[in-house]
Amino acid sequence: MKSEIKIKAVRLPYELVNCIFVARENDDLASLGFTENEITFIQAQRKDEKRCIALQELNNIRAVYFPDSTKSSAVNKEKARIEAAGLCTKINASKIKSITVVANGLDDIGLAIAEGLALANYQFLKYFTDASKKRHSLESIDFAGECDASQLTALESVILGTYRARDLVNEPPIFLTATEYAQQIKMLGKEAGYKTEIFEKAKIQSLKMGGLLAVNKGSQDPPTFIIMEHKTSGAVNKKPIILVGKGVVMDTGGLSLKPTPSSMDYMKSDMAGSAAVVGALYAIARADLPINVIGLIPATDNRPGENAIVPGDVISMFNGMTVEVLNTDAEGRLILADALAYAQKYKPELVIDLATLTGAAARAIGDQALVSMGTAPEAVHAELEICGYETYERLARFPFWDEYGEQIKSDIADIKNLGGPEAG
């Protein structure tokens, strides 16, 4: 039972029920259908600096959101998403199936409200025996604004791509093996419109992807290497953009075993980077964006089985480089290295890899942003930072200095998979 949502354009409804209005400070609220008593209530709430005021009677919710004219567009949109998420709880508690967002000439804020509602409406109910009783009532979001249908299609595609990514992250390891993960990605490709190719273990061995094979040695399940592709004749880029995602479907740490509380018990989500790649390809293909994109996912679990690699082992990677493995819990970089090297065969315009790679990043900046680093041109970094700020998926750039290479020099191999205690 997957989460679904419909987002469609409508004209301003004749009967203004179950609506969320975007309003400026000087707007005539009576023209939006509010009574004198309701306007008095709203104005009193505004004196307490509330920006989202909800009025509710029986199964009718009407709310009004006032953007903050002193804040940037990006901040206003994020605040609108957060307020909409709170409204979503009230909407579902009232068993309302459809809500209308009335943009009132402020489409960017209206779209952010629709996005916040949709994201907050997500549920993962697959393993509940009473799922039908828990299911949210909200099924559709109508949008009364000036934007064209393509913008709403794009938003709906992003929402559904996010839903699919969340579903994959929420699946338990007993179900989502590397083999099953590949099949799920293939099924989603048929649903959205991207092509999928799956390399099984024999193919991975023939390609000598030593990082992926080494991490998989302790597992009872074989690894997979998944290739997703969205290609269109009218693409704005001739060389593909490649998204690489870490697909460790369960990370125990291997023989460098993780503690369980607040660590291993969350490690089914160590494939979240690759789930984000799947979600992105899903959204891009579903919206049929004019861009050539390839997704690469090396997938395996990392377990301390009888054949598992041990600290001190030396492995040979896809590109021929040798690596001394000093910590088997530093496995993500091993499988990603094979995928990043494989990506070069496509002569890409840009490669972006997404991973839940190290707790050092979270300890440095908290959970308010993502850490980025790399060798891409300055203009690419700047554009990603701008896009990240606009969507409030903010990036904090870390340095990628040559001197850090000294930390991964090995006495017995080309490099080692562990740096020093500082610099992550």
Could you confirm whether 47 is annotated as catalytic? Answer: no
Cβ(302)–Cβ(215) under 8 Å? Answer: yes
Find the catalytic residue in 333, 347, 363, 394: 333
DSSP character string of 48-68:
TT-SEEEEEETTEEEEEE---
| SS3 assignment, position 156 | helix
Where do the DSSP E strands lie in 191-348? 195-199, 224-230, 241-245, 247-251, 293-302, 313-316, 322-325
The one-letter code for the residue type at 183 is Q
Beta-strand pair 224-230/195-199: antiparallel
Instruction: Report the alpha-carbon distance of residue 201 to residue 211 in Å, rounded.
Output: 13
Burial class (CB within 10 angstroms; exposed 0-12, middle 13-18, buried 19+) of 36 = exposed
Whether residue 103 contacts residue 110, with contact meaning beta carbons closer than 8 Å, is answered with yes
From CA 286, how far away is CA 230, in angstroms rounded?
A: 10
Instruction: Considering the candidates 51, 258, 394, 397, report the single residue annotated as catalytic.
Output: 258
Contacts of 404 (CB under 8 A, 6+ apart): 419, 423
Q: Is 258 a catalytic residue?
A: yes
28 vs 41: CA distance, rounded Å: 14
Residues 302 and 212: beta-carbon distance below 8 Å: no
Q: Which residues are catalytic?
A: 258, 333
